[in-house]
Structure 1
Amino acid sequence: MTKPIDSVAIVGGGFSGAMLAARLAERGTASTLINRTADFGLGVAYSTPFDGHLLNVRSGRMSAIADRPDDFVVWLKATHPALADPDGFAPRRIYGLYVQARLAAVEAAHPDLIRRLVGQVIAVETAGVRLGDGSLIPARAVVLATGNPAPRTAGSGSSRRILSDPWAPAALERIDVDDDVIIVGTGLTMVDMLLMLEGRGWHGRAMALSRRGLMPRAHGERPDPPLQPTRTLLTAPLSERLKAARALARDHGWRELMEGLRPITADLWVLADVATRRRIVRHLRPFWDVHRHRLATVIGQAMERMRSEGRLSLFTGRVHAITADDQGVRLEWRHRRGEAAPLSASWLIDCTGPGHAADADPLTAPLIASGRARLDPLRLGLDLDPLGRVLDREGQPDPSLFVLGPPARAAFWETIAVPDIRKRIDQVTGALISQSLIG
């Protein structure tokens, strides 16, 4: 006899939630997978219809299944053989089809163990989750896999000239082909927006501002061999680690250095004390992000082309004020030396990245207020134990409440890329099954 279909409620049906439901079903555990739309398995990253948006990780590392590392490439060979290069970067749209295909295959192989439900979860309760229509979905455990929220820097869209959520449907369609744009944020979201604009025939100019003025680096033409981290790099005080990292990057290559650190980054974060984590977030995070989360080679080349053509300019500073009217947008900003000449354009796009704020989120803020959850010391997100269980006000893990994927960044730091999430999926699956057996 199978367990009740509502045994685990998974809030969020993107990659993290969908692949957790699949893994649980393969282990004989039922779940209800709840998503705001019927596009299960896609989330923001893989719902893009634009084939110019490529994966940031080579296809050979993008299996959704930890113990079947070639699963995605095998699927590509059967369905899109022209893309089946393990060292290539497939379109994200195609990867979304792969995730959906895996979910459907598991559903077919394990009938009645995955229930899909389209709805908006408005509250996490002790007996399960409450939907916007007032109904309760009973569950012995809840997993929050809500993905990345929209940016928050530019406000809530008080002007039509300010695109506060660049991923909103048809957000870029208002921009004419020769309009200039201001972009706040110079990371991966900026790159995605510029690619999509160019794909629509846009040939205007972009002025992009961030605190460091750094843009993501690109992968090399071929995979880089990992450099074995030294003892100093792993155990010394942070300042000595940084010095060692710079020396290794100079002598052996920064890509090789990052490849060596990639599999153990989450473990190093877990072992770090609060003071070390605070220094990383405050001083090193921008540099880490642009080297760790790289662009497909061809996309890196496209960004360099735009810069050489004078169509992409990077500015280093902080936003001071944003004003807009029917004609355009004006951005006042400051750099380290003080005031800078304002930037003006037809549109402003907020590309500052996910606006994680667990204490302001309508789903998690009540959990914090009630004491069932708490923020981590750096206020990056909910505080979790090594299994991903939410810690209450007293620091005790809640065996019925988990967080998976990007919202778990406070505990694991590296929790947005597929290779990292699939490892966490197996950990959460094991914990849920163990707790079920004990219960």
Structure 2
Amino acid sequence: MATLTRTDIAVIGGGLSASAVIAELVDRLPPSTTIGVVAPKGRRGRGVAYGTTDDRHLLNVPAGRMSLFSTDPDHFVRWLRQKAAGYGPHDFVPRRIYGDYVRDSLASAIRRTGNRSAVSFFDAEATGFAATDEGGYPFRLSNGDVVAGQSAVLCVGGAPAGLPLPAGAVDPAVADRLVADPWKADWIGAIEPDATVLFVGTGLTMIDQLVSLVGRGHRGPIHAMSRRGLLPHPHREPRPPAVALDLDPARDGLAAALSELRRAAGRIDDWRALMDGLRPSTQRLWDGLAPAQRRQFMRHLLPYWNAHRHRVAPAVNAEVEALRRTGRVHIRAGWLESITDAGGRARVSFRPRGTHGLETLTADVVVNCCGPDRCPSLQSSPLLVDLAARGVVTPDPTGLGIAVDRDSAVIAADGRRLRGLYAVGPLTAGTFWEITAVPEIRAQAAGVADNLARRYAN
């Protein structure tokens, strides 16, 4: 028989965004309130990004900028001194360790609540709204139970982006040669060490999979392909001082803003200073763009933004560049056309960038490294599909996640701001854009916690 549990605030999800929200809530809510957290036990505090067990997978930001709390910027560094000696504020720490830190911080926040709000965990996934007479937000769980929150916070992550191919372009006969989600299977352990590997995508996910593959002794040819063949740039340490630049793409247009950015980069020693100087004003710039300009940015400039903005640790970059110099790894720019069977292998047809003809590459395994959706679409989980069908959520006008206001409150299909329903993290990228990094997520989580605390203070 299904169990119904009532709670004041239901937090849906268990990764970084959810952990940040819970850690902020328990320090603000009165003792009479309850928090119910719906997330499979293994994902709590980790999600995909910090669920890796491979210590070759490093943070892409130095430890000194990765505190879970805006009001305590040295929190992670102090934790490292106690739990992972040998790392300092300028180190690029293994993501596994950061996952330990998030889980530890969440557990500590719950333990220190004393006589404040009680936190309960539900080892399941939310799959949709339940058909009950409960008010608020009753969520149906994958185990058949129901958690009904008077308020709720959606911290739903995105599914992996699919291969950039039209329907029917992949021969079903090569299904066992394709790795749709490299984080869900030990595909490396299942292939021969001399196998030919093709990574589709050349961003951060590919970098992670590449260093794991080579680190486990792979000897065969490795190819990586994306439409532009762009790799993430490395950080440079010591970090150059940020240089502010007065840009107004909403007024001058994206092309003019890009030209000015390029001219400014030519006047300084390191373009990274400009990218870091843009960070405080990124949200203002995004807010100023009309929907058509945002779509133009996504269509033409996003790959370049990602390569320059989301950089990799210097040590990881050095390893990748060494593999390229020795011919172990080949980076290609082109458009996939089809994947067909070639006697038990995968024949990949593609059009090299700048040409009109087709070429083929035969691989033993094709690995989808397109990464997660830039933000979750409404089709990325059964929960979002159900909420959209009920009109509870609606797509952001740019197609980036769901519509929310500046307080992160969910906007329903009829345009209403839903009382007590919030979203945090990548699901809100249409409004907040740079909402995949820790500094932005922790600030958003604190804001949502403030709003909920005011509601329950009365």
Taking structure 1 as the reference length, what is the TM-score of the superposition?
0.93
Secondary structure at 2:401 match in 1 = coil
Counterpart of 1:88? 91
Deviation at 1:30, TM superposition (A): 3.4
Contact 1:159/1:324, CA 8 A, preserved across alignment: no
**Are 2:214 and 1:204 aligned?**
no
**Are 2:79 and 1:69 aligned?**
no
Match among 334, 337, 348 for residue 366 of structure 2? 348
**Are 2:273 and 1:269 aligned?**
no
Query: Quick one: which amino acid aligns to residue 18 of structure 1?
Result: S
Deviation at 1:289, TM superposition (A): 0.4
Secondary structure at 1:384 match in 2 = coil
Query: Quick one: which amino acid aligns to residue 434 of structure 2?
Result: E
Structure 2 Cα separation of the partners of residues 34 and 325 of structure 1: 45
**Are 2:137 and 1:127 aligned?**
yes
- Equivalence map 1:19-418=2 (5 Å): 19-28=20-29, 30-83=34-87, 85-111=88-114, 113-124=118-129, 126-153=136-163, 159-232=175-248, 236-252=252-268, 253-324=270-341, 327-335=344-352, 336-355=354-373, 356-359=376-379, 361-418=381-438
Range that drifts further, 193-202 or 284-293: 193-202
Structure 2 Cα separation of the partners of residues 337 and 348 of structure 1: 23
Structure 2 Cα separation of the partners of residues 249 and 334 of structure 1: 32
Residue 245 to residue 86, structure 1, CA distance change in 2 (3 Å): same
Range that drifts further, 41-50 or 400-409: 400-409
Secondary structure at 1:122 match in 2 = strand
Range that drifts further, 360-369 or 241-250: 360-369
Deviation at 1:377, TM superposition (A): 1.9
Structure 2 Cα separation of the partners of residues 257 and 234 of structure 1: 19
Secondary structure at 1:368 match in 2 = helix
Deviation at 1:47, TM superposition (A): 1.1
Deviations 1:12-67 (CA, angstroms, capped at 9, x unpaired):
10111112111101112532121123341011111111111000011000000011
Counterpart of 1:18? 19
Structure 2 Cα separation of the partners of residues 435 and 289 of structure 1: 38
Range that drifts further, 388-397 or 413-422: 388-397
Deviations 1:153-181 (CA, angstroms, capped at 9, x unpaired):
27999712100000003232212222110
Range that drifts further, 200-209 or 346-355: 200-209
Range that drifts further, 74-83 or 103-112: 103-112
Deviation at 1:127, TM superposition (A): 3.2
Query: Quick one: which amino acid aligns to residue 347 of structure 1?
Result: V
Deviation at 1:424, TM superposition (A): 1.0
Contact 1:233/1:245, CA 8 A, preserved across alignment: no
Deviation at 1:239, TM superposition (A): 2.0
Query: Quick one: which amino acid aligns to residue 429 of structure 1?
Result: A
Deviation at 1:437, TM superposition (A): 4.2
Query: Quick one: which amino acid aligns to residue 57 of structure 1?
Result: V
Residue 360 to residue 93, structure 1, CA distance change in 2 (3 Å): closer
Secondary structure at 1:26 match in 2 = coil
Secondary structure at 2:410 match in 1 = strand
Query: Quick one: which amino acid aligns to residue 138 of structure 1?
Result: A
Taking structure 2 as the reference length, what is the TM-score of the superposition?
0.90
Structure 2 Cα separation of the partners of residues 180 and 383 of structure 1: 43
Structure 1 Cα separation of the partners of residues 251 and 447 of structure 2: 25
Structure 1 Cα separation of the partners of residues 175 and 409 of structure 2: 40
Structure 2 Cα separation of the partners of residues 171 and 151 of structure 1: 18
Structure 1 Cα separation of the partners of residues 248 and 158 of structure 2: 34
Structure 1 Cα separation of the partners of residues 278 and 6 of structure 2: 40
Structure 1 Cα separation of the partners of residues 408 and 79 of structure 2: 30
Contact 1:187/1:215, CA 8 A, preserved across alignment: yes
Contact 2:250/2:289, CA 8 A, preserved across alignment: no
Structure 2 Cα separation of the partners of residues 220 and 5 of structure 1: 50
Residue 7 to residue 295, structure 1, CA distance change in 2 (3 Å): same
Deviation at 1:371, TM superposition (A): 2.1
Deviation at 1:406, TM superposition (A): 1.7
Match among 426, 440, 456 for residue 420 of structure 1? 440
Contact 2:158/2:380, CA 8 A, preserved across alignment: no
Deviation at 1:325, TM superposition (A): 6.2
Contact 1:47/1:93, CA 8 A, preserved across alignment: yes
Range that drifts further, 363-372 or 65-74: 363-372
Query: Quick one: which amino acid aligns to residue 399 of structure 1?
Result: R
Contact 1:87/1:223, CA 8 A, preserved across alignment: no
Contact 2:67/2:76, CA 8 A, preserved across alignment: yes
Structure 1 Cα separation of the partners of residues 159 and 281 of structure 2: 26
Contact 2:339/2:346, CA 8 A, preserved across alignment: yes
Deviations 1:381-400 (CA, angstroms, capped at 9, x unpaired):
21111111221123222123
Deviation at 1:326, TM superposition (A): 6.7
Structure 2 Cα separation of the partners of residues 231 and 216 of structure 1: 24
Counterpart of 2:133? none
Structure 1 Cα separation of the partners of residues 247 and 380 of structure 2: 40
Structure 1 Cα separation of the partners of residues 249 and 91 of structure 2: 30
Deviation at 1:97, TM superposition (A): 0.9
Residue-pair matches, total: 434
Contact 1:107/1:114, CA 8 A, preserved across alignment: yes
Range that drifts further, 317-326 or 215-224: 317-326
Range that drifts further, 428-437 or 376-385: 428-437
Residue 432 to residue 325, structure 1, CA distance change in 2 (3 Å): farther
Structure 2 Cα separation of the partners of residues 121 and 98 of structure 1: 25
